[in-house]
Each structure stands twice: as C-alpha cells, then as structure tokens.
Structure 1
C-alpha cells in the first residue's frame, strides 16, 4: 500500500511566520522605535532613526507604500490591521503629547509619517511652484491611501461630497499659504481675506504672478542702480570740470585782461612794458 504522505505545500499563515512583515512578536507591544520623542524640531534625524527601527522590525513596507491595505475579502486584512495598529501605537509613543493627539485619529501609520513630512516642510529657498509640487506629492499620497468618502445615494441632494472636498481644499490652502516665505505676507493676507476662500489652483496662480512681479522688480532695480551711479559720477565730473574752469578763468581775468575799473564796460588793453615807454600799449585809432 502506498504510504500516506503529508502535504508539504501547506501555506503558512503570514501572521505566524517570523520572516513575514505581518508577523508581530508578543514583545513588540513594548518596542520603542527611537529613544527621544519628536517635538517638531530635528525632523530629519528623527525620520532616519524611525526608518532604521522599522527596518529592523521588517515593517518598513507599511510606511513606504509597498504593503497596502488588503481588500475587505482578503485573508490578510486581519493581519494587516494588527500590524497597522501596532505601528500607530509605536508612533504615538515617540511623539510629543501635543503632536500625538493631532495624529491619534489617523487610520494608517503611513498617514502619520506623511503628516509629519508636511509639518516639517517649509518653502525656504524654493520657488512657489517647487514648494507647491512638494506639498502636492504628499497630498496625493494621502489621498491614495485614505480617499474621501463618496455619497452613493441615488438621486442624492445632500451634496456632501462637494462640501467635504471644499473643506479639505480650504485646509490645504491655509496650510500652503502659512508655509510661504515672509515676502508673500501681503498676498497671503489678501487671499485669506476672501470669502469664500479661493480655490487652491486659483491661489497658486495668483502667487505665481506675485512671484514674477517680484523677480521683474529685482531685475529692474538692480539695473537702475549702476545707471544712477554712472549718472551721478557724470554729473559730479561736470561740476568738477566747471569749478576748475572757473578757478583758472578767474585767475586769467585778474592777471591778463585790461583794467575795467571806472570805465564801465569799455575794454582797455592790458598794461605792458616795452622799451622807452611805460603805460598802455599804443594802438591805432584811425578809422
């Protein structure tokens, strides 16, 4: 009789496989990703420490997007939910109390990391377009992992989807404006004073125009400075030459022109000395 053979191809439950990212060790509930809590400063160092800690626990895929949430019918959903909850617990332990409260109701650990990237992001030396692109990339990741709910009612009249989208856009517009450099303070105030608030795309176009105006002003201003400097130097040289001319001309008149004293405007030749006669040089007065 043929011997009964045991099926060796039985699939191991990923949650029970220590090599699987879905595996959670009983001691992981006490695990700390980093020693210091993040309080809003030193984000890059904190982020690097978190990446190392997650990689050591084989959980980096839950953060970088390589492991996505399974469908509601997937047998991995339960294991994924357990790992995701574990990661959220890890993050709340290494965040300052104020920051931890602001991310406590996020549904995924990846959202927490993305929100921390936004919190640390500022325009600094970036152009408006470059800074907006950085924010937009993070927002797109958030939307992909946590899309907004959509009303599926037949003949819906509540318009809830549009209202939720508008609320989200207003929040993102305010965040975008508040992270711009101080030179955009006036434009920021003008946009925020509008009621209702402008769309994010419209505000972006206004800021791009403002940035171009500032660039043109700087170019024109920088070109005007050397022109004004050269004009000032030219004017100074003109007056210097005029002063020199006046100085030498006055000296010449005093020493060389004839005596105008007591003669009105009549010109008298200069006094000269020559042999046998002193006085004025003779001249012919015949017509």
Structure 2
C-alpha cells in the first residue's frame, strides 16, 4: 500500500510522481504560459500548454485517461482539487473575452475539447499567411537571425498539419518531403554571397537536414568574419 493513501486509492497524492500531486507553490490564478491564447495563436499556445502540463504531470486530465472517480473513492477529493487547478490554469491562460465560458465546464477534458472545436479547425487563413516562408529572404540579417525567422515559420506551419507517425507505411516519405521543402526554402532565401556553400550543399549525395545546413552556413559566415579582421 502506498504511503498517505487508503488501500482503495490508485494514487498517493503526496508523491511527486502522482497525477494528483500539487506543489504548495502552485498558483491557480496565474497564467500557466505566456503569451495567452488570443484566438490567433492556437497551435503555438496548444503546444506550449501541453509541454507545461506534461511537466506538471497533468496530461491525464486533458486526454480523459484520469476520469472522475466514483463518489465512494478516496481519490475523489484529490481529483476535484487537481481538476479545478488545471481548469483555472486554462482560464487564466486565455484572453478574458474567450475564457468566460470555460468557467462553466465541470471537467478539464470538456474545456479542452471545446477549445479544440473552437480554434483548431480554421487553419487555411493561417496556413496561407505562413506560406510567406517561400518568399522570405535573408537580406541584411545574419545567418543566425535568418535561420531563426524561417525555422519559427516552418515550425508554426507544421503545427497546422498532423503528419502520421514515421512507422505508418509511406509516412516517412511525407516527413522527408516536408523537411526537403523547408531546406529548399532556407537555401533559396540566402544572399548570393553564399552561393558557393549553397551549391556544395545541393551537390551532396545525401541532402542534410535544415539544422545541418544552417551549421555549415554559420561556419562559413564565421570564417568570413575572421578573414575580414584587420591584421594586427
């Protein structure tokens, strides 16, 4: 039997690994993540919220795998407390105008499903806007700044589309196409001064990842900086 719990209890809320565990410093009236959900940033907000709740071991309240215990269960008070805490985090992580109706959901799971139904399907306008990736140019930016801008757009675009796991048949080809497309966008936006190293990358027997291509270009930029230093 676990310490601090009745023999009929599935979890020991005093243990840090228990989904019922809440640290004394937890604040229900503070947003769990920033920026808060404003209706236009759902994919990035959603991803950040999942990471935050995973770190707090509370994802089971979102996916329904930790349902409300029976009225006779000793876990019921712990579930109610955690459910209220996570619902409060959700409410305070949404702009006030959109958060009001979340107060009336009895469970975190129901509030989470409602958020998905309201914000996740309408991806076409955002996808159209984010597709500006293909026209992004390095301009006066350093390689690091340019890469950060493009990678951020690529990651946001990916969040609008759910690719199947690589283990699912032809899914590997879909992943390869997506990353190939991102690499081409990155290379096409480079200044002409990087044409030599860009050609070297394109002639590789196996094209590198966009992160590896960035590393090669960054090395080239750093070498140029060293050569441009005045002789002492």
Band of TM-score, shorter chain: 0.3 to 0.5
Which structure has more relative contact order (CA 8 Å, sep 6+)? It is 2
Calculate the TM-score normalised by the size of structure 2.
Answer: 0.47
Larger radius of gyration: 1
